[in-house]
Structure 1
Amino acid sequence: MDKLRDFLKTWPGRILLVLCLSPLALLGIESYFGGSVDPNQIAQVGEASVGLSEYQTAVNSRRSEILDQLDDASLLNEDVLHEQVLRGLIDRTLLEQQAGKLGMTVSDDTINRLLRQEDIFQDAEGNFSNDQFSNFLRQRGMTKDQLFAEFRNQLSLDQLNASIVGTSIYPMKAVNQLIDLQLESRNIWLHRFNWQDYQDQVKLTKSDIESYYNTNKEALKSAAMIDLAYIQLSPQTITVADITDDELKQQYEGYKQEMAVVDERQISQILISGDNAKARADKVAARLNKGESFASLAKTESDDPTGATGGAIGSFNPSVFGSDAQVVEEALQGLSVGDTTAPIKTSFGYQIFTITEDNGTKLPSLESMRVELTAKAKEYKRQEIYADKVTAINDLAADGFSIEDIAQQENVALKRLKDYRKENNTSVLAQPAVIKEAFDEFTIQDQAVTSGIEVGNGTVWAQPSNYRPTKTLTLNAATPQITQLLRKQKATDIALKQAKQVATGIKTLADINNQAVNFQVLADVNRQTSQLTEKERGMAFSQQADDKGIVALAGATEVGATVIVGDRIKTQQQSRLSDVEKSQTAGIIRDNLGQDQLQDYLDYLRLLYNVEINEANMAGARDR
Structure 2
Amino acid sequence: MESFRKVIKGWLGKILLVLFLTPLALVGIEGYFSSGQSKDAVKSVNGQDITQKELDSLTDTFKKQYLSYVNGDETLLNQNFIKNKAMDTLIARTLLLQQAEKLGISLSDTQIEQMIAQQPSFQANGKFSEQLYSNYLQSVGMTSPALIANLRQDHALKMLTATFTDYTLVSQLDIRQIAALQAEQRTLHLASIQLDEYKPAVKVSAKEIADYYAKHKNSFKQAESVDVDYVELTPANIAPASTQVTDAELQQAYAQFVETQKKEAKVSVKHILITADTRSDAEAKKLAADVSAKIKAGLSFAQAAAQYSDDPASKNAGGQVAAYDKGVFGDSFDQAVSALKVGETSAPVKTQYGYHLIQAESAQLKLPSFETEKPRLMAELQKSKTANAFSDAVNSLNELVVGSDDLSVITQEVKGVQVQSVKGLTLSAQHPVLSDPAVKVKLFNEDVKSGDRNASGNIQLTNGNVVWVKVRNHVSAGVQTLAAATPAVKAKLIDQKAYEAAKAKIQTTLNEFKVQPASSVVAKNKIAFVDAGVFTRSEGRLKREIERAAFSLNTPKAGMWSVTTAALPGEMVVVAVSAVDKSAVDAIPAEQLQELTKLYQQLRGQQELDDYTQYLKAHAKLK
TM-score w.r.t. length of structure 2: 0.58
Q: Note if 1:537 corresponds to 2:510.
A: no
Kept after mapping to 2: 8 A contact 1:183/1:526: yes
Kept after mapping to 2: 8 A contact 1:443/1:449: no
- Give the corresponding residue for 2:422: 417
Q: What amino acid maps onto 1:579 in structure 2?
A: A
- Give the corresponding residue for 2:295: none
Q: Could you tell me how far 1:157 is from its partner in structure 2?
A: 2.7
- Give the corresponding residue for 1:342: none
Q: How does 1:352-371 map to 2 (within 5 A)?
A: none
Q: For residue 170 of structure 1, give the secondary structure of its aligned residue in structure 2.
A: coil
Kept after mapping to 1: 8 A contact 2:100/2:156: no
1: CA distance, partners of 2:103 / 2:418:
65
Change (3 A) 1:544 1:589: same
Q: Note if 1:518 corresponds to 2:516.
A: no
Stretch moving more, 574-583 or 517-526 = 574-583
Q: How does 1:411-560 map to 2 (within 5 A)?
A: 412-422=417-427, 425=429, 429=434, 434-442=439-447, 445=450, 446=452, 447=454, 449=456, 452=459, 454=461, 462-470=469-477, 474-498=481-505, 500-506=507-513, 507-528=517-538, 530-546=540-556, 548-559=558-569
Q: For residue 73 of structure 1, give the secondary structure of its aligned residue in structure 2.
A: coil
Q: For residue 117 of structure 1, give the secondary structure of its aligned residue in structure 2.
A: helix
Q: What amino acid maps onto 1:404 in structure 2?
A: L
1: CA distance, partners of 2:78 / 2:153:
28
Q: Note if 1:26 corresponds to 2:27.
A: yes
Change (3 A) 1:485 1:108: closer
Q: Could you tell me how far 1:190 is from its partner in structure 2?
A: 0.5
Partner residue of 2:576 out of 553, 565, 574: 565
Q: Could you tell me how far 1:87 is from its partner in structure 2?
A: 0.4
Q: Could you tell me how far 1:543 is from its partner in structure 2?
A: 3.7
Kept after mapping to 2: 8 A contact 1:46/1:611: yes
Q: Could you tell me how far 1:443 is from its partner in structure 2?
A: 5.4
Q: What amino acid maps onto 2:128 in structure 1?
A: G
1: CA distance, partners of 2:198 / 2:27:
53
- Give the corresponding residue for 2:604: 593
2: CA distance, partners of 1:386 / 1:504:
76
**Gap runs ≥5 in structure 1:** 1-20, 251-317, 327-365, 367-372, 613-624
Q: For residue 102 of structure 2, give the secondary structure of its aligned residue in structure 1.
A: coil
CA displacement, residues 405-431 of structure 1 (integer Å, 9 cap, x when unaligned): 684456644322123235x64666457
Q: For residue 568 of structure 1, give the secondary structure of its aligned residue in structure 2.
A: strand
- Give the corresponding residue for 2:300: none
Partner residue of 1:404 out of 402, 407, 428: 407
Change (3 A) 1:574 1:532: closer
2: CA distance, partners of 1:34 / 1:162:
25
1: CA distance, partners of 2:380 / 2:191:
57
Q: What amino acid maps onto 1:191 in structure 2?
A: A
Q: For residue 108 of structure 2, give the secondary structure of its aligned residue in structure 1.
A: helix
2: CA distance, partners of 1:391 / 1:64:
36
Change (3 A) 1:384 1:101: farther
Q: Could you tell me how far 1:554 is from its partner in structure 2?
A: 0.9
Q: How does 1:139-538 map to 2 (within 5 A)?
A: 140=142, 144=145, 150-195=150-195, 197-216=197-216, 223-232=223-232, 385=386, 389=390, 393=394, 400=402, 404=407, 407-408=410-411, 412-422=417-427, 425=429, 429=434, 434-442=439-447, 445=450, 446=452, 447=454, 449=456, 452=459, 454=461, 462-470=469-477, 474-498=481-505, 500-506=507-513, 507-528=517-538, 530-538=540-548
Structure with the greater alpha carbon radius of gyration:
1
Partner residue of 1:579 out of 579, 590, 604: 590
CA displacement, residues 185-243 of structure 1 (integer Å, 9 cap, x when unaligned): 34321013455553334332333233334445677565433222234467898999999
Q: Could you tell me how far 1:88 is from its partner in structure 2?
A: 3.5
Kept after mapping to 1: 8 A contact 2:230/2:467: yes
CA displacement, residues 94-151 of structure 1 (integer Å, 9 cap, x when unaligned): 341354257536577624531453259979862789x979x889985x683x655544
Paired positions, count: 468
2: CA distance, partners of 1:91 / 1:570:
45
2: CA distance, partners of 1:550 / 1:528:
25
Kept after mapping to 1: 8 A contact 2:106/2:156: no
Change (3 A) 1:215 1:540: closer
TM-score w.r.t. length of structure 1: 0.58
Kept after mapping to 2: 8 A contact 1:38/1:51: yes
2: CA distance, partners of 1:236 / 1:500:
67
CA displacement, residues 24-57 of structure 1 (integer Å, 9 cap, x when unaligned): 54224x7424766764456666755543333333
Q: Note if 1:73 corresponds to 2:72.
A: yes
Identity of aligned residues (%): 17
2: CA distance, partners of 1:458 / 1:127:
52
- Give the corresponding residue for 2:95: 97
- Give the corresponding residue for 1:370: none
Q: Could you tell me how far 1:444 is from its partner in structure 2?
A: 5.2
- Give the corresponding residue for 1:114: 112
Q: What amino acid maps onto 2:77 in structure 1?
A: D
Q: For residue 525 of structure 2, give the secondary structure of its aligned residue in structure 1.
A: coil
Change (3 A) 1:55 1:221: same
